Amino acid sequence: MTDFPPLKNDLIIRAALGEKTERAPVWVMRQAGRYLPEFREERRKHDFFTICRTPELATLVTLQPIDRYDGLLDAAIIFSDILVIPQALGLVVEMVPEKGPVLPNPLVVPEDIDTKLQKNVDVYQELGYVFKAITMTRKALNGRVPLLGFIGAPWTLMAYMIEGGGSNTLSKAKTWLFRYPEAAKRLLQKITDVAVDFLIGQIIAGAQMVQVFESWGGELSPHDFTTFSLPYVAQIAERVKAKLKLDGITPVPMTIFCKGSWYALESLSSIGYDTVSLDWTVDPVYAKSITKGRVTLQGNMDPSVLYGDHDTIRATVRKMLETFGTSERYIVNLGHGILPTVDPENMKVFLETVHSVGLQLNGAIA
């Protein structure tokens, strides 16, 4: 493994592993994104996936929020997208401004698994650019904060690969679940195998913590979640950690974010992840009581609170810290990605409040 500069702020790692923290660490999903004018400036010059595939540009964009909110963010997340796995599997994915991801030639029938997707994916060949970006970014961070890697979870990726983009009903992807369940499982397993290799590669390249995004978990009933999501996200945690240990590499903390899957919190806290990320529909008291300290909780402010005035943001953060606690098993985040039309100043108020109230509640300052 590469030699990296020593880590100066390990708050998020300690929180994920259940160690005491002097205040709750904070980062924000999509913290490198369109709400930042400096990001929009780069996007005017380069296509979305060109940024992902050019390590220098991915590094630059990953560092933008770290530099702007100097000392206020406790983690950086590598600039990439969950849809790089479908690309590695052989599908074309375009990022269309104002529309989002589009897959012009999606999977339609089960036979497409064999005709449209690569048989074997060598992640070092197909996704080596992500590994390069991670190594370069970790060096550029110079130990300021840990670097997070991530993947999309199998069900969410399968849904994009069949829908061909975003969808309100996921009717096409769900047709597979209920008409071709065996083919759906074969596809989910194929994605899982690539996801495991990809996460291991990210960790070897320098990712110090990783997150699995099941963004469409909440579209499934509890029963279908247990069939089509949970086994695969469980397999990912198990296999990634086992393989790293076998190779003599210390596993890094892993986070699972299943948006909308509040009903699965108990299971999600018992399948090998260190941290469970919550969306804003989950009551912190409920989440704490059902997970019983087995995992660190992350989240869960409604991203739209950042449209509120500064006092509302401060009051919401205070309440959140009071309920989740600030010294143990908690990482502050939003319940989903920061929205593109948020004022970057409001993000600053959010971060500053996490610091000041966190220290205050912990008794570090009067």
Rounded to a whole number of angstroms, the minimum distance from the CB of residue 172 to ligand CP3 is 16
Q: Token pair of 271, please?
A: 């399948």
Rounded to a whole number of angstroms, the minimum distance from the CB of residue 62 to ligand CP3 is 7
**Do 44 and 22 touch, CB atoms closer than 8 A?**
no
Rounded to a whole number of angstroms, the minimum distance from the CB of residue 96 to ligand CP3 is 8
- Using only C-alpha atoms, the chain has a radius of gyration, in whole angstroms, of 20
Catalytic residue (one of 43, 186, 294, 318): 43
x/- site string to ligand CP3, residues 318 to 337, per CB under 6 A?
Answer: -------------------x
Q: Which range touches ligand CP3 (CB under 6 A), out of 92-100, 196-204, 306-314, 341-349?
A: 92-100
* Identity of the residue, 160 or 176, whose beta carbon is nearer to ligand CP3 in the bound complex: 160
User: Cα–Cα distance between 156 and 165 in angstroms, integer?
Assistant: 11
> Does 33 interact with ligand CP3 (rule: CB under 6 A)?
yes
**Is 43 an annotated catalytic residue?**
yes
Q: Token pair of 150, please?
A: 């991530």
Residue of 210, 217, 111, 236 whose CA lies nearest to 170? 217
Catalytic residue (one of 10, 74, 81, 279): 81
Phi–psi pair at 299, nearest 5 degrees: 135, -155
Residue closest to ligand CP3 (Cβ): 215
User: Cα–Cα distance between 122 and 180 in angstroms, integer?
Assistant: 27
Residues from 136 through 165 that contact ligand CP3 (CB under 6 A)? 150
Catalytic residue (one of 53, 69, 74, 160): 160
User: Cα–Cα distance between 56 and 318 in angstroms, integer?
Assistant: 38
Q: Which amino acid is at 246?
A: L
Rounded to a whole number of angstroms, the minimum distance from the CB of residue 167 to ligand CP3 is 11
User: Cα–Cα distance between 235 and 110 in angstroms, integer?
Assistant: 23
> Does 29 interact with ligand CP3 (rule: CB under 6 A)?
yes
- 230 three-class SS: helix
- 345 three-class SS: helix
**Do 270 and 294 touch, CB atoms closer than 8 A?**
yes
Burial class (CB in 10 A: 0-12, 13-18, 19+), 240: buried
> Does 166 interact with ligand CP3 (rule: CB under 6 A)?
yes
> Does 273 interact with ligand CP3 (rule: CB under 6 A)?
no
End-to-end CA distance of the chain: 44
Q: Which range touches ligand CP3 (CB under 6 A), out of 79-87, 115-123, 186-194, 289-297?
A: 79-87
Q: Which range touches ligand CP3 (CB under 6 A), out of 96-104, 195-203, 281-289, 346-354?
A: 96-104
- Token look-up 């908690």 returns 330
Q: Which one among 13, 16, 32, 91 touches ligand CP3, defined by CB under 6 A?
A: 32
**Is 30 an annotated catalytic residue?**
yes
* Identity of the residue, 10 or 81, whose beta carbon is nearer to ligand CP3 in the bound complex: 81
> Does 43 interact with ligand CP3 (rule: CB under 6 A)?
yes
Helix orientation angle between 230-246 and 181-205, rounded to the nearest 10 degrees: 40
Q: Which one among 97, 169, 341, 366 touches ligand CP3, defined by CB under 6 A?
A: 97
Rounded to a whole number of angstroms, the minimum distance from the CB of residue 132 to ligand CP3 is 16
**Is 144 an annotated catalytic residue?**
no
- Site size toward ligand CP3 (CB under 6 A) is 23
Residue of 97, 85, 185, 80 whose CA lies nearest to 134? 80
Q: What angle do CA 193, 196, 200 make, to 5 degrees?
A: 145
> Does 84 interact with ligand CP3 (rule: CB under 6 A)?
no
> Does 35 interact with ligand CP3 (rule: CB under 6 A)?
no
> Does 236 interact with ligand CP3 (rule: CB under 6 A)?
no
List, as one string, the DSSP characters of 234-280. HHHHHHHHHHHHHTT-PPPPEEEEETT-GGGHHHHTTSS-SEEE--T
Q: Which one among 31, 135, 277, 300 touches ligand CP3, defined by CB under 6 A?
A: 31
Per CB under 6 A, residues contacting ligand CP3 are: 29-34, 43, 48, 77, 79-83, 95, 97, 100-101, 150, 166, 213, 215, 337
Q: Report the catalytic residues.
A: 30, 34, 43, 81, 160
